[in-house]
DNA sequence: GACCAGGCACATC
DNA sequence: GATGTGCATGGT
């Protein structure tokens, strides 16, 4: 069975099992961008607290966030952990938007995806995953997002060898799937859900025997 | 108390 | 290029 078919079957199996994930909540594209930084190496519940703080402070708007005192920003971001780093990262992102797009996300609409990706990666604190999350979920660009869960699932299904790099993994998906934003969004969300469940006791997947079957609904006992 | 959570930058070999 | 380390809060 070729890879494209395997991935398609995996997606439908996940979709069947988990339904619509309603992935990546956020009222505005900027809020999604902020969330992408706040959730780095941090569970979403903690990131959400920081987002709530920012909302209450009216700082879920690039110009406002960019104008906040650093100490104030650190306070608001604290629940998400790594608050010294993340506050600085948010400030750089907001400043970039203010300078690059006059403080609006809409001004980025005409900029090619590759260019946006380069500029995001040039911001210290935004790496491949965060950049791609922003491109896909905030800016609606057809970019597949790879994260730790994706890696676990793909390796566990034998689709790629352990030790594969970010770009190798991303290429696996982009080369095999139709370039549809909605598909990319939901597939990634499904992979996260699967990864959370069936690897929750063994995050590194070492020696774990379970391997959900492709193309079939996944039984609960194979999800652990 | 240990371990983990939707990474990244930097140092070192 | 690969590997190790610091960053930090909050839930289980």
pLDDT, one tens digit per residue, over A116-156 is 999 999 999 999 999 999 999 999 999 999 988 888 788 77
Q: Which of A165, A97, A100, A95 is nearest to A129 (CA)?
A: A165
CB of A46 within 7 Å of some strand C atom: yes
CB of A150 within 7 Å of some strand B atom: no
Name the more confident of A80 and A214. Answer: A80
CB of A74 within 7 Å of some strand C atom: no
Q: Which of A18-22, A53-57, A216-220 ranks highest by mean pLDDT?
A: A53-57
- The mean pLDDT value for A66-80 works out to 98
CA angle A91, A96, A99 (to 5 degrees): 125
Give the model's confidence band at A1: pLDDT under 50 very low, under 70 low, under 90 confident, else very high: low
Q: What is the pLDDT of residue A66?
A: 98
Q: Is the pLDDT of residue A196 over 50?
A: yes
Q: What is the pLDDT of residue A38?
A: 98
A103: CB partners within 8 A, 6+ apart: A61, A62, A63, A66, A97
Nucleotide showing the shortest C1' distance to residue A43 CA: B5
Q: List the single range of A18-22, A71-75, A84-88, A138-142 with lowest mean pLDDT.
A: A18-22
Q: CA A9 → C1' C6, Å?
A: 41
Task: Record the pTM.
Answer: 0.90
- The mean pLDDT value for A54-83 works out to 98
Q: CA A39 → C1' B5, Å?
A: 9
Q: Is the pLDDT of residue A113 over 50?
A: yes
Q: What is the pLDDT of residue A138?
A: 97
Q: CA A5 → C1' C7, Å?
A: 41
Q: What is the pLDDT of residue A213?
A: 38
- The mean pLDDT value for A2-29 works out to 89
Q: Virtual CA dihedral for A55, A56, A57, A59, nearest 10 degrees?
A: 10
Query: What is the distance between the alpha carbons of residues A47 and A80, in angstroms, rounded to a whole number?
Result: 5
CB of A52 within 7 Å of some strand C atom: no
CB of A26 within 7 Å of some strand B atom: no
Name the more confident of A129 and A220. Answer: A129
Which nucleotides on strand C sit less than 7 A from a protein beta carbon?
2-3, 7-11
Q: What is the pLDDT of residue A198?
A: 67
Q: Which of A44, A68, A40 is nearest to A54 (CA)?
A: A68
Q: CA A40 → C1' C5, Å?
A: 17
**What is the average pLDDT score of chain A?**
87
Q: Virtual CA dihedral for A79, A72, A137, A131, nearest 10 degrees?
A: -100
Query: What is the distance between the alpha carbons of residues A98 and A51, in angstroms, rounded to a whole number?
Result: 20
């Amino acid at each position: 069975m070729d890879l494209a078919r395997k991935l398609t079957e995996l997606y439908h199996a996940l979709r069947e099992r988990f339904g619509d994930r309603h992935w990546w909540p956020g009222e505005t594209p900027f809020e999604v961008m902020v969330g992408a930084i706040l959730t780095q190496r941090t569970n979403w519940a903690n990131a959400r607290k920081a987002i709530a703080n920012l909302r209450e402070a009216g700082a879920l708007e690039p110009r406002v966030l960019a104008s906040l005192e650093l100490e104030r920003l650190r306070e608001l971001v604290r629940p998400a952990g790594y608050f010294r780093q993340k506050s600085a990262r948010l400030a750089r992102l907001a400043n970039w938007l203010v300078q690059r797009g006059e403080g609006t996300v809409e001004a980025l609409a005409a900029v090619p995806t590759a260019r946006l990706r380069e500029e995001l990666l040039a911001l210290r604190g935004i790496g491949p995953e965060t950049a791609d999350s922003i491109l896909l979920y905030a800016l609606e660009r057809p970019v597949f997002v790879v994260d730790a869960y994706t890696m676990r699932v793909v390796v566990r299904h034998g689709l790629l060898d352990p030790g594969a790099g970010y770009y190798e993994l991303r290429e696996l998906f982009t080369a095999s799937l139709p370039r549809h934003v909605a598909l990319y969004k939901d597939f990634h969300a499904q992979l996260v859900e699967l990864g959370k469940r069936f690897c929750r006791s063994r995050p590194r997947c070492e020696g774990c025997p379970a391997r959900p079957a492709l193309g079939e609904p996944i039984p609960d006992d194979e999800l652990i």
